[in-house]
Amino acid sequence: MLTQAHSSFFQENGYVVVKALFTADEVAFYREHYMRLRARGSYAGDLVGVDPTSTDLLKRYPRMIHMHRWDDVSLHWLLDQRFNSILTGLLGRKPYAVQTMLYFKPPGARGQALHQDQYFLKAHPGTCMAAWLALDSCDEAKGCMQVVPGSHRWPILCTTKADTTISFTDVTVPLPEGQKVDPVIMEAGDVLFFGGSLVHGSFPNTTLDRFRRALIGHYVSGEAEQVTQYSHPVLRMDGTIADLKINPGGGPCGVWVEENGEPVIELTGTVSPVTRAVE
């Protein structure tokens, strides 16, 4: 499943796509499962109020979070042995599981401004990891994921205001001029793995009729002793609860400055302890 080529790409870029990790039947099952759950009503943690009867697609399909706390299908998916094996290979030891999310991203939905997951999840020591399963094929028109290769080596950056006409979240991280941001084009069943410092996000879905659904698991590396309070209870990959502490937040963040004509990051900022947002 995880080859030497995957590991080398991940080390170098901070992300890697494992193709066809889930079969077409599995992906179809998850699509139907979450569409059914969404149509049924609202759940704790829905991004904004859901109105399953609305004719407005955006109101009918807000993002779900922490489904594994009340839905067995989501729990089994989060603890899937494929993730255990790949994440253990990438991180060097078994991960803990902390979060699930389902993005429906219907036609016309906004994207999510560039950010670093570790800003929100605060795994310490170590970092967090995401496993982003494409439930539909995704390209730039649909608002596929965008990543900044190599940014996994950056510290946590101080956030600035995001453009909320194209992002459903209101914070972002600034990038130096000319910084490369790559689209990640994927087929349904592919999984994008990326580390907590990797700068990533997505543009709006500009298609008229194509959903871009994604099921996301968030994990923290096994050496972590603390994580944000919102990630508790923390699970081992066998489903038992691990005894991690709450990270109170705060700490330094980086700002871009110019040094010898080159942009470099200086740790002169402070992360607000309140970073509850939509990571």
Ligand X SMILES: O=C(O)CCC(=O)C(=O)O
Nearer to ligand X, 18 or 214 (CB): 214
For the chain, helix, strand, coil in percent to 5 are 25, 30, 50
Nearer to ligand X, 181 or 263 (CB): 181
The helix/strand/coil state of 43 is coil
Least distance CB 115 / ligand X (angstroms): 7
E strands, 8-157, in order: 15-18, 64-65, 96-103, 112-115, 128-134, 145-147
Residue of closest CB approach to ligand X = 202
Nearer to ligand X, 116 or 226 (CB): 116
For residue 82, the surrounding DSSP H or E stretch is: helix 81-91
Residue 133 is encoded by which pair of tokens? Answer: 């399963």
Nearer to ligand X, 95 or 201 (CB): 201
Least distance CB 111 / ligand X (angstroms): 6
Alpha-carbon span 264 to 66, nearest angstrom = 36
Least distance CB 146 / ligand X (angstroms): 9
Q: Which residues form the interface with ligand X (CB under 6 A)?
A: 103, 111-112, 117, 130, 200-202, 214, 216, 279
Residue 256 is encoded by which pair of tokens? Answer: 């871009």
Contact 49, 42 (CB under 8 A): yes
Least distance CB 260 / ligand X (angstroms): 33
Least distance CB 103 / ligand X (angstroms): 4
Nearer to ligand X, 80 or 117 (CB): 117
